[in-house]
Amino acid sequence: MDDIRAIKRHAKENAKALKELSSAVTIAINGIDLAMKGTFTPECGNKIARIINALDFANDRARYFHLGVDWRTDKKVQRVIKEDNNG
């Protein structure tokens, strides 16, 4: 019985994390889209940088706390650099 409760609690936590990540992605996409409609200025670049930082934070929270990625051994940055160089 306790196992079932733990599984349900874990599923509920994961669903909440996915909703938060989805919300962050939606907000980021809309914010970047809005920023890109105007003339590009340093202020616009700063706004996009803040949006991307918030999105990266939300992604890291989901990865580390809900997908079990160990931040000490995560090679996210190396994978991104490798993909950029290959593609």
Condensed to tens digits (0 to 9), the pLDDT of residues 41-64 reads 888 888 888 888 888 888 888 888
* Secondary structure, 3-state, the chain: CHHHHHHHHHHHHHHHHHHHHHHHHHHHHHHHHHHHHCCCCHHHHHHHHHHHHHHHHHHHHHHHHHCCCCCCCCCHHHHHHHHHHHC
Sequence ranges of the domains in the chain: 2-86
Condensed to tens digits (0 to 9), the pLDDT of residues 1-16 reads 689 998 999 889 888 8
pLDDT at 87 over 60: no
What is the pLDDT confidence band of residue 80, given thresholds at 50, 70 and 90?
Answer: low
What is the pLDDT confidence band of residue 78, given thresholds at 50, 70 and 90?
Answer: low
81/8: higher pLDDT? 8
